[in-house]
Amino acid sequence: MKDDWRSAGGAVVCIGETMAALAPAPSASLESADDLRVSVAGAESNVAMYLADLGIPVSWLSAVGDDALGRRVLAEVGAAGVDVSGVRCDPERPTGLLVKEPSGSRTRVHYYRGNSAASAMGPDVLDDAKLRSASVVHLTGVTPALSPSCRKLVTTALTVPAGERPYAISFDVNHRPALWPPGTAATVLRDLADRADITFVGLDEARDLWDADLEPADVRRLLPHPCLLVVKDGGHAAIAFSDEGTWTVPALGTDVVEPVGAGDAFAAGVLTGLLRGEGMERALRLGHITASSALKVTADHGPLPDSARIERLLDLPTHEWAAGAGQLAC
């Protein structure tokens, strides 16, 4: 990994599965709804779309089926400004599907992605020429849960020594319990997360995976090797650890419509801040601003505030952000 990856043009490559998504209206029950809204959903393409919104050149690598849902996925992700030219079209396997089941403040997700086109991805995805000009390659813990070949893809990417690749690797733990056989996720995800250059993990998922009593500093002791570790403490704050110090930035107060996709938006905001050469506090603020946009919509990808408002929020003195974070998202 080059030391100057932040100033190397800012190109990002995101790798992982995106599915078609079906969901009733936020106040409707899946059992009784007459209509379901079709959208697209995938952690890595969510990150890619928000990066594109923020002006970062980004490509998404994946596979979809040669079917109507696959074409819809490609069209929507591409329309967001993401380069989808490296996505493979599989003539024999289908595009994955998920169904959202709203329930109060939580949303249960049902996956129908067994033997999907993306589950057949393997380490050869890393041969794509786009990686040679990337500053960052973004992966998540969803991909290694999909199949042995997908796990090999992520493991191979994270095994390449930093000095032998031109890009930094960003990894979001993104634990999806429904995708893992019981008792397998904790060890695999800890090993992968500790190999990345930049790692994102929610405090809640760290507690679910590794120890119910963990605090952010304990997570850093569990994952000592990333150059940057960002621990997301829900709607409270984000805490970043690096060799240069520790930063804590409160979250924005937001009326939550649906939480799905907010972590991906947060990662995109932080990566954008880093690629622009912003300080860590501003990068974390941008993560919160971007996450707030995702929380306000039922889709995984929501509209950002205009650039002028984003800049005003980023420029607030630290004490004003901390004191008024609950009202800043209005």
Spatial distance between the Cα atoms of 196 and 223, rounded to a whole number of angstroms: 10
User: Counting beta carbons within 10 angstroms of the beta carbon of residue 122, is it exposed (0 to 12), middle (13 to 18) or buried (19 or more)?
Assistant: middle
90, 197, 264, 300: the active-site residue: 264
Taking residue 197's Cβ as centre, other Cβ atoms within 10 Å add up to: 20
- H helix or E strand, kind and range, residue 304: none
What lies within 8 Å, CB to CB, of 152 at 6+ separation is 122, 123
- Residue 264 annotated among the catalytic residues of the structure: yes
* Token pair in block for residue 114: 């067994």
Residue 256, CA atoms < 13 Å, CB-side half-sphere: 17
Kindly tell me the number of DSSP H helices and DSSP E strands found in the chain: 10, 14
Amino acid at 45: S
Residue 22, CA atoms < 13 Å, CB-side half-sphere: 15
Which of 306, 310, 299 minimizes the C-alpha distance to 77? 299
b/e 87-117 (16+ beta carbons within 10 angstroms → b):
beebeebbbbbbbbebeeeebeeeeebeebb
Q: Residue 161 has what DSSP assignment?
A: -
- H helix or E strand, kind and range, residue 113: none
Strand, helix or coil at 182?
coil
Q: Where does residue 312 fall: left (phi above 0), alpha (psi -120 to 50 degrees), or beta otherwise?
A: alpha
Q: Considering only the C-alpha atoms of the chain, give the largest distance between any 2 of them, rounded to a whole number of Å.
A: 56
Measure CA 234 to chain center. Answer: 15
Residues annotated as catalytic (active site), given as ranges: 264
